[in-house]
Structure 1
Amino acid sequence: MALTDIITSLWAWKWLAIGLVAAYWVLWVAYARTLHPYAKYPGPFLASMSRFWIVIEIFRGRAHKTEAELHRKYGSIIRIAPNEVAISDPASIKEIYSINSGFTKTDFYTPWRASFARFPDHFTSTDEKLHGQRRKIVNNIYSMSNIVKSEPLINTCTELFMTRMGEFAERRQLVDLATWVQWYAFDVIGELYFSSMFGFMKQRSDVNDYIGSLDTLLPVLCAASVMPSYVRAPFLASGLLLRSVRKALKALGRIEEASATCVRERLQPKGKSDGAREDILGKLLDIHEHKGDQHNFNLTDVQTEVFTGLFAGSDTTAAALSSILYHLTANPDVYAKLKHEINEASAAGKLSYPRITYAEAIQLPYLVACCKEGMRMHPSVGLTLPRVVPSGGCQIAGQWFPGGLRVGVNAAVVHLDETIFGEDAKEYNPDRWLREDAVNMDRYMFQFGGGSRTCIGKNISLCEIHKLVPELLRSYDLELACAESGFRTMNHWFNKPLPLYVHIRKPEPSRSV
Structure 2
Amino acid sequence: MPSAYLVIPIVLLLLTCARLLTNWFHLSKAPGPVVAGATDLWRAYQQYNGQLRGKISDLHGRHGPIVRYGVRSISINDPEVIKLVYGSRAGFTTARLSSCIQNGKEVPSLVSTRDETRHAALRRSVANAFTQTAALGHESAVDATIGELLAKIGEKKTFDLSSMILWYTMDAAGRFSFGEPLGCLAAEDDVGGSIQLIRDRFNHWGWWSSIPGLERLVFRNPIAMRQKRAPSSMAAAAISKLTARSLESKQDNEHVDLLQKFLDASKDHPTILDTSGVVGMLMSTISGAGDTTATTITATLFQLLQNPDHLKKLETELTGLPEIPAFSDVSKLPYLDALIKESMRIFPSSTWPIERLVPVGGVTIAGMFFPEGTSVGCLPSAIHQNKMIYGEDAHIFRPDRWLIPDREQLRSMEAAHMDFSRGRRVCLGQNIAVMQMKKVITALVVKYKY
| TM-score when normalising by structure 1 | 0.80
Is the 1:79–1:86 Cα contact (8 Å) retained in structure 2?
yes
Instruction: State whether structure 2 residue 262 is matched by structure 1 residue 262.
Output: no
How do 1:424-443 and structure 2 match up within 5 A? 424-435=393-404, 436=406, 437-443=409-415
Shift of 1:28: 1.9
CA distance in 2 between counterparts of 1:185 and 1:413 reads 27
For structure 2, the 5+ residue unaligned runs are none
Partner residue in 2 for 1:285? 263
Is the 1:95–1:101 Cα contact (8 Å) retained in structure 2?
yes
Q: 1:382 to 1:183 in 2, by over 3 A?
A: same
Shift of 1:222: 2.2
**SS of structure 1 residue aligned to 2:118:** helix
Shift of 1:76: 1.2
Partner residue in 2 for 1:198? 182
Instruction: State whether structure 2 residue 290 is matched by structure 1 residue 306.
Output: no
**SS of structure 2 residue aligned to 1:129:** helix
Is the 1:113–1:124 Cα contact (8 Å) retained in structure 2?
no
Shift of 1:234: 4.4
**SS of structure 1 residue aligned to 2:67:** strand
Q: 1:356 to 1:110 in 2, by over 3 A?
A: same
Q: 1:252 to 1:444 in 2, by over 3 A?
A: farther
Is the 1:154–1:188 Cα contact (8 Å) retained in structure 2?
yes
Q: State the superposition RMSD in angstroms.
A: 2.5
Partner residue in 2 for 1:184? 168
Shift of 1:288: 2.7
Q: Which amino acid aligns with 2:66?
A: I
Instruction: State whether structure 2 residue 291 is matched by structure 1 residue 315.
Output: yes
**SS of structure 2 residue aligned to 1:53:** helix
Partner residue in 2 for 1:372? 341
Q: 1:57 to 1:262 in 2, by over 3 A?
A: farther
1:343-397 CA-to-partner distances (Å, cap 9, x unmatched) read 2xx1xxxx3x352122211221111111111111101122111110011111212
Is the 2:331–2:435 Cα contact (8 Å) retained in structure 1?
no
For structure 1, the 5+ residue unaligned runs are 1-7, 241-248, 479-513
Is the 1:224–1:235 Cα contact (8 Å) retained in structure 2?
no
Partner residue in 2 for 1:23? 14
Q: 1:134 to 1:214 in 2, by over 3 A?
A: closer
CA distance in 1 between counterparts of 2:265 and 2:56 reads 43
Partner residue in 1 for 2:431? 459
Is the 1:259–1:310 Cα contact (8 Å) retained in structure 2?
no
How do 1:244-263 and structure 2 match up within 5 A? 253-263=232-242
Q: Which amino acid aligns with 2:340?
A: C
CA distance in 1 between counterparts of 2:231 and 2:411 reads 40
How do 1:59-74 and structure 2 match up within 5 A? 59-74=48-63
Is the 1:42–1:78 Cα contact (8 Å) retained in structure 2?
yes
Partner residue in 1 for 2:155? 167
Partner residue in 2 for 1:132? 120
**SS of structure 2 residue aligned to 1:79:** strand
CA distance in 1 between counterparts of 2:335 and 2:298 reads 18
CA distance in 1 between counterparts of 2:219 and 2:354 reads 23
How many pairs align?
442
CA distance in 1 between counterparts of 2:423 and 2:131 reads 15
CA distance in 2 between counterparts of 1:82 and 1:60 reads 19
Instruction: State whether structure 2 residue 414 is matched by structure 1 residue 449.
Output: no
How do 1:20-99 and structure 2 match up within 5 A? 20-33=11-24, 35-36=25-26, 38-99=27-88
Q: Which amino acid aligns with 2:206?
A: C
Is the 1:266–1:275 Cα contact (8 Å) retained in structure 2?
no
CA distance in 1 between counterparts of 2:220 and 2:106 reads 24
How do 1:102-181 and structure 2 match up within 5 A? 102-106=91-95, 108-112=96-100, 120-168=108-156, 171=157, 173=158, 175-181=159-165
Q: 1:454 to 1:116 in 2, by over 3 A?
A: farther
Identity of aligned residues (%): 26
Is the 2:324–2:442 Cα contact (8 Å) retained in structure 1?
no
1:85-137 CA-to-partner distances (Å, cap 9, x unmatched) read 1111111211101111110011x103456676677321122222221112101
Shift of 1:141: 0.3
CA distance in 2 between counterparts of 1:362 and 1:421 reads 24
CA distance in 2 between counterparts of 1:150 and 1:371 reads 20
Is the 2:323–2:447 Cα contact (8 Å) retained in structure 1?
no
CA distance in 2 between counterparts of 1:410 and 1:456 reads 20
Of structures 1 and 2, the larger Rg is shown by 1
1:466-508 CA-to-partner distances (Å, cap 9, x unmatched) read 1111111011124xxxxxxxxxxxxxxxxxxxxxxxxxxxxxx
Q: 1:299 to 1:207 in 2, by over 3 A?
A: same
Q: Which amino acid aligns with 1:29?
A: L
Q: Which amino acid aligns with 2:172?
A: V
1:206-265 CA-to-partner distances (Å, cap 9, x unmatched) read 101111233344323421221141x12444599x9xxxxxxxx97985544443233224
Shift of 1:339: 1.1
1:117-161 CA-to-partner distances (Å, cap 9, x unmatched) read 677321122222221112101101011110112211110111111
Q: Which amino acid aligns with 2:14?
A: A
Q: 1:430 to 1:142 in 2, by over 3 A?
A: same
Shift of 1:321: 0.8
CA distance in 2 between counterparts of 1:284 and 1:40 reads 47
Q: 1:123 to 1:220 in 2, by over 3 A?
A: closer
Instruction: State whether structure 2 residue 442 is matched by structure 1 residue 470.
Output: yes
